[in-house]
């Protein structure tokens, strides 16, 4: 198609050529921009879209979807922070531009990605530590996932814990060993000079901030009760360029007691005209004895053969909870700053117990939570790989979704509702599913679904195991339990529209279907409640039924013949929490159900 063809066919009512619909008409690239939605016809006759556009042709292969754009957007400018608190701030920047379309921004804190969900020019940053300096940068993405260079980094320092800060002005000292006070600042004359502040109320503070100017390196020491007393902390002062320029510089304190003490600020490696001290603050800390609340509602949010996701309700504290210690089978396995932990390296088909306790800044520990019992799955299921025809490139083919490598991924050439899955060979009961989004593309999995079927093309008998209703976590495994006892030979992940089915990993777990009945039976055996904590009722039993319940490692834990009962109630309150399989031989049919005991 020539430029003359375009000009002769795409004009508005005033005769203006609508070249803004195209990627780069000057460079003879007449693919439509993603924003030119009024001219994208998906192969149909376009017709008249509005009063100002007439005689639009069918552009066929020139439509959006076949183009390739490798031009990165402009670097974000004007990055700044305001509304700074003890655990976060509001980040702002100016909008970037792109030759096609800007679709979102990536925010990095200390070079690690913090967020990639926003398409606005502002983001509220949370979950940071008090009295800590962070380096923040922003990058921008376009429609074809080109990423700009990083913005100029800015440093943002969070505030100290509220209510625990002690502010000491230099001119309000009780004694100075040397130097002088000028314009409210202390000028130290020589090394080992000090300021003395009497009767300071300390309570386990852990940060020390000085508003100071310096023309060369200097060192400040914080000592208890005398200039040579116990050392609580050291601050190495960076040059501010001149003595008229003051900066707040922060160091850490250790072993700060609770009580009223004299506090000494000792100057080291300094001489006259090298540094001036305006004020100091000690901050942070907590009150010993004010313990955090006990973590509540431990649960498993995904379960594999060698890993699981453990979560719980956040604890509360009079100041702040700083971490949680996780126990596996009674032994500590580490501390996490959030109320969630992914555990790897577990053993297949094994029962485990977990408990959690919370810690605050003063080192106060809560009691341990209620113990959670669970069991890992069997090995992940394998099979022939199936899916929508067409791959983005040879390095992004279907097997990449099942290769166990989170750094590779599958991508389809089909934009809408593409899928990738497994032919398991024989029907299997799916117990849980795990997945890992492509880095930077977790939003593309929102509204994706996981399904099972016994028809290879999923044309009939399709059951949806799970719909991803909210954006999954970035750079992390997610998963869910499957509450279906139907056995399926074919399983898949089906992507939402405009996502190209980009997924790094999918894992399906389950058990063999040997003896599983035709589930079309009108008298299918039912179990409720499921999951259960104290007792279960098994319904729709035949005149003579054999009930066998086995653990995930294949051991029978219960077996009973039931006669002339349509239902049977069993107490499971003393059972170890985990997954069990209930097999019922009834009316010459064998039914297999999954049972979860909490």
CATH number at residue 224: 2.60.120.260
3-state secondary structure of 539: strand
**Residue 152 banded pLDDT, cuts 50, 70, 90:** very high
**Residue 226 banded pLDDT, cuts 50, 70, 90:** very high
- Give the residue, 29 or 318, on which the prediction is more confident: 318
pLDDT at 451: 96
Residues 466 and 563 in one domain: no
- Give the residue, 223 or 238, on which the prediction is more confident: 223
Residues 19 and 36 in one domain: yes
Contact 468, 480 (CB under 8 A): no
Given a cut of 60, is residue 273 above it in pLDDT? no
Domain end position, chosen among 253, 283, 313: 283
Q: Cα separation of 75 and 416, whole Å?
A: 30
Determine, yes or no, domain membership for 520: no
Determine, yes or no, domain membership for 71: no
Q: Cα separation of 591 and 549, whole Å?
A: 12
Residues facing residue 386 across a β-bridge: 421
Domain end position, chosen among 375, 397, 429: 375
Residues 532 and 554 in one domain: yes
Domain harbouring 311, CATH code: 2.60.40.10
**Residue 336 banded pLDDT, cuts 50, 70, 90:** confident
Residues 414 and 502 in one domain: yes
pLDDT at 467: 92
Given a cut of 60, is residue 48 above it in pLDDT? no
Residues 455 and 414 in one domain: yes
Cα-Cα end-to-end distance for the chain: 66
pLDDT at 94: 93
pLDDT of 287-311, one tens digit each?
555 688 899 888 877 777 788 888 8
pLDDT at 476: 79
Determine, yes or no, domain membership for 393: yes
pTM, two decimal places: 0.42
Q: DSSP label at 546? A: E
**Residue 66 banded pLDDT, cuts 50, 70, 90:** very low
Given a cut of 90, is residue 79 above it in pLDDT? yes
Determine, yes or no, domain membership for 151: yes
Residues 96 and 149 in one domain: yes
Determine, yes or no, domain membership for 395: yes
Cβ atoms < 10 Å from Cβ of 363: 10
Residues 205 and 259 in one domain: yes
Determine, yes or no, domain membership for 428: yes
pLDDT of 101-113, one tens digit each?
888 999 999 888 8
**Residue 19 banded pLDDT, cuts 50, 70, 90:** low
Residues 190 and 262 in one domain: yes
Q: How many domains does the chain have?
A: 6
**Residue 595 banded pLDDT, cuts 50, 70, 90:** confident
Listed in sequence order, the residues at least 6 apart from 124 whose beta carbon sits closer than 8 Å to its beta carbon are: 88, 90, 91
Listed in sequence order, the residues at least 6 apart from 515 whose beta carbon sits closer than 8 Å to its beta carbon are: 583, 590, 592
Residues 463 and 489 in one domain: yes
Contact 269, 192 (CB under 8 A): no
Query: Dihedral of CA 413/416/422/426: which sign?
Result: negative
Domain end position, chosen among 346, 375, 404: 375
Residues 176 and 227 in one domain: yes
Degrees, nearest 5: CA angle 362-129-258:
20
Mean pLDDT of the chain: 80
Determine, yes or no, domain membership for 277: yes
Contact 125, 91 (CB under 8 A): yes
Q: Cα separation of 207 and 254, whole Å?
A: 8
Domain range for residue 117?
Answer: 80-157
pLDDT at 505: 94
Determine, yes or no, domain membership for 521: no
Highest mean pLDDT among 327-331, 417-421, 531-535: 417-421
pLDDT at 151: 94
Residues 420 and 491 in one domain: yes
């Amino acid at each position: 198609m020539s430029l003359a063809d375009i000009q002769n066919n795409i004009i508005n009512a005033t005769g203006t050529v609508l070249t803004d619909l195209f990627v780069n008409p000057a460079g003879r690239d007449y693919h439509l921009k993603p924003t030119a939605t009024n001219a994208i016809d998906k192969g149909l006759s376009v017709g008249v879209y509005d009063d100002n556009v007439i005689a639009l042709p069918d552009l066929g292969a020139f439509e959006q979807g076949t183009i390739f754009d490798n031009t990165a957007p402009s670097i974000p400018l004007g990055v700044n922070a305001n509304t700074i608190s003890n655990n976060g701030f509001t980040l702002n920047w100016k909008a970037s531009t792109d030759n096609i379309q800007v679709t979102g921004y990536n925010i990095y804190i200390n070079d690690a990605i913090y967020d990639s969900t926003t398409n606005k020019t502002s983001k509220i940053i949370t979950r940071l530590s008090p009295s800590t300096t962070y380096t923040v940068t922003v990058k921008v993405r376009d429609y074809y996932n080109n990423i700009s260079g990083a913005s100029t980094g800015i440093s943002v320092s969070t505030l100290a814990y509220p209510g625990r800060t002690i502010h000491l002005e230099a001119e309000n000292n009780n004694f100075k060993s040397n130097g002088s006070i000028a314009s409210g600042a202390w000028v130290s004359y020589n090394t080992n000079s000090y300021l003395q502040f009497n009767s300071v109320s300390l309570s386990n503070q852990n940060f020390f901030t000085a508003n100071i100017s310096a023309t060369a390196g200097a060192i400040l020491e914080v000592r208890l009760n005398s200039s040579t007393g116990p050392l609580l902390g050291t601050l190495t002062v960076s040059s501010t360029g001149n003595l008229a320029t003051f900066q707040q510089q922060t160091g850490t304190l250790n072993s700060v007691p609770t009580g009223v003490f004299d506090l000494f600020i000792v100057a080291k490696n300094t001489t006259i005209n090298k540094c001036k001290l305006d004020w100091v603050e000690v901050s942070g800390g907590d009150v010993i004895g004010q313990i955090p609340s006990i973590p509540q509602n431990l649960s498993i949010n995904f379960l594999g053969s060698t890993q699981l996701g453990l979560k719980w309700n956040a604890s509360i504290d009079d100041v702040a909870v700083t971490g949680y210690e996780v126990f596996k089978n009674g032994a500590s396995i580490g501390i996490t700053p959030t109320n969630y932990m992914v555990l790897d390296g577990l053993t297949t088909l094994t029962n485990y117990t977990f408990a959690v306790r919370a810690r605050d800044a003063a080192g106060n520990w809560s009691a341990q939570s209620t113990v959670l019992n669970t069991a890992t799955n069997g090995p992940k299921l394998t099979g022939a790989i199936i899916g929508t025809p067409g791959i983005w490139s040879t390095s992004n083919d279907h097997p990449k979704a099942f290769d166990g490598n989170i750094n590779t991924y599958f991508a389809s050439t089909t934009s809408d509702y593409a899928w990738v899955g497994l032919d398991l060979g024989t029907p299997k009961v799916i117990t849980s599913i795990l997945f890992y989004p492509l880095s930077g593309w977790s939003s593309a999995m929102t509204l994706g679904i996981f399904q099972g079927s016994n028809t290879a093309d999923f044309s009939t008998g399709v059951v949806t195991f799970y719909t991803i209703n909210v954006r999954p976590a970035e750079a992390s495994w997610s998963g869910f339990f499957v509450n279906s006892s139907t056995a399926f030979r074919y399983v898949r992940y089906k992507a939402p529209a405009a996502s190209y089915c980009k997924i790094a990993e999918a894992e399906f777990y389950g058990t063999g279907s040997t003896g599983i009945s035709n589930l079309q039976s009108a008298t299918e055996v039912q179990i409720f409640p499921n999951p259960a904590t104290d007792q279960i009722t098994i319904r729709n039993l035949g005149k003579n039924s054999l009930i066998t319940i086995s653990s995930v490692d294949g051991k029978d834990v219960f077996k009973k013949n039931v006669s002339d009962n349509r239902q049977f109630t069993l107490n499971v309150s003393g059972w170890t929490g985990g997954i069990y399989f209930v097999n019922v031989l009834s009316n010459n049919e064998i039914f297999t159900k999954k049972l979860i005991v909490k």
